[in-house]
Structure 1
Amino acid sequence: MTAAPHTENRVSPAVQCVRIDLAQQTYDILIGSNQLGDDASWKNLPRAGTAVIVSNDTVAPLYLAQLTQRLQPHYARVESVILPDGEAHKTWDSLNQIFDHLLASACDRKTVLFALGGGVIGDMTGFAAAVYMRGVPFVQVPTTLLAQVDSSVGGKTAINHPLGKNMIGAFYQPERVIADLDSLDTLPQRELSAGLAEVIKYGPIADADFLQWIEDNLDALLSRDKAALAYAVKRCCEIKAWVVGQDEREQGLRAILNFGHTFGHAIETGMGYGAWLHGEAVGCGMVMACDLSVRLGLMPPDFLPRMRRLIERAGLPVIGPKLGTDRYLELMRVDKKAESGEIRFVLIEALGRAVVRSAPDALVAEVIGSHCA
């Protein structure tokens, strides 16, 4: 089943465009190489006197100067806030550093924020934009594969809490997403693999043909072949745009995008944020969710080894940490999909079709016991 239509929109011969159509807002995701080196993608930006780039101390030395140069023709002031890198810093303290700068610089409600970095920077910048002066515009400039295919698209913004990942946040859409594929050239291999977890998830939940394409082209993705990356990013964004367009605030369908995340978030929180990359936890979580799908009779037995092989080939862990069954269950009960303390999982009921449902704790415990060291 192919859920989302394929699109052929192009901004230029080298840049493809996927459009997000929401009830109250429409915006474009621009996908292509050399966007940070070319003015073409930076036309018709939100008007303001000041632009503030939020980045981290890993990405800023690589791309801050280029982005600043792209923005200077459009804004009287272009400033920056540089945060420490990593999931462990997705906190109130880091968020307050953004607010401190905005207030100290007398930034008004037409100030535009630009998120230059991966999912952590994108989530925090979006959350800051959502609440500063009750809302200012922002633009996503994702520099990791995970952010380009998932976290920069769709308007989920948040910070972490010690008791749960992404539990404090808001739905707040960007004005535009500009995904420069060349930024993936500097991505560490571990981060590239982490991004592939979010690529892989789109196949079983929405597009069986895309799952087969990933299996056939995984080596090209791992070697950073630009044509393969361009297709993967575009197809993932098409599927996410289709889902978010129907369910912006995750009241139903959008929950399928959390395939593998119920187990994965438990791993991230239980291990301490940053010990496992988000994509690593999601990859392992997908293995467990596939096993649960098989144990519930939704999928045939050969589905689990097929998915496990693919996830392992992508360089992702398939065995989770030994947190203890009770700890896993405790952490999963505070997952955002949980209802009245009942854990709900995104499971696969046919290739290309997902369902959200609960499962007996005893069966979930068997899955945890089978896949955690």
Structure 2
Amino acid sequence: MSNLTGTVAHVMRRFTLDKWGGTETVVFNLSRELEKAGLHSPIYCTDMFSKAGEETIEGITLRRFRYVFPWLGLSEEAKAKLRLKGGSPLSLPLFFSLLFTKDLLLIHTHVGRRLGGIARTAAKIRRVPYVIHVHGGRHTVPQDQYDAMVAPVNGKFEWGKAFGFLFGSRKVFDDASAIICVGQSEADEMRARGQKNVHYLPNGVYVDHFAEADPEPFRKAYGLEETPFVLCLSRIDFQKNQRLLVKSFAEFKKVHPEWKLVFIGPVTVEEYHRQMLDDIERLGLSDSVLIIPGLRPGDPLLPSAYRAAEMFVLPTSNEPFGIVILEAWAAKTPVIATRIGGIPGFTSNNENILLFENENADMLTGTMNQLADNRDLQDRLTANGFKEVSAQYDWSAIAERVVKIYEEILTTRSKR
């Protein structure tokens, strides 16, 4: 793939197998592919939900560091909410570790704000370039979701602003050697804002891992041997909008009474989870909806779930890309998703996906009915989706493009 050697230090907010999300999946898989290419790719992050120290998972080195949320007077409840979603932590131990990382070739940060500023400053001191990878939401988070994320720190004195200034947190994007965006719409907006060297680079998937999965283990594990079901796999919070799917499924089930609805994903906003449960009970769906929060990203039951499902639905209200769509395509499962964010940019409505308008529960119900009752449509979506993901989104191809970006910025830097 490349003649580059050395260490690419990946910086992210957290990495834990218990509270995983798309960013963790992407960074971990990218690190694995870069290791195959001869680039040592450790992950540097805070010790949220973990213990500080070094750990190796499937050959990838994870270095976790102590951190603080730099606001005065935060309650333990507020800190717990910030750990799950939002918050801008400060980790000086992570900064000093970057300063002394051996054979550092470049820094690849997957987070902005204070931790991004730490990556920026460490790169400048070490005289190496850095890349910032935008995994979504920088300019597209709905106002109500943004308000919920910052609510725990409202009215609190942010003493960490001094460190943000010191580390140049507001210059993270301006000073980056390259900006990688997983969504085309986000990349376009970055360019419109005057950012330079912006690359659109979608997420990837290990196609064979899903295509070759056996559907029976998941069906047997959860008593679904003879039951058709709709699958939704994502973290459970406001952004992913599972409550809309619950509402639509209640109407769908009137026409398809034998079907069930399965949610898989960690609970990142407990309040939203409680609202979901209330909806399920109120709509009389307690025996028809299954919520599975405990499957880890490497669990073989995850690809098995995709393969077992009759359809996959992503009702998200804000999505820069949607890696779960790739996973469903790879598993040859037909997909329905919201027409929002980066999703329309890499999908083709009525060819490899069915799109519905954001927050339109009636349209979602109608689309689910249409898909459930039309075998030819199912076959067309699955065939085209699998063809697309196999040709464009396998992780080996995505990693090659990342390495080319590294090579370009290192070559440009050497000519200065």
Superposition TM-score, scaled by structure 2 size: 0.28
Superposition TM-score, scaled by structure 1 size: 0.30
Larger Rg: 2
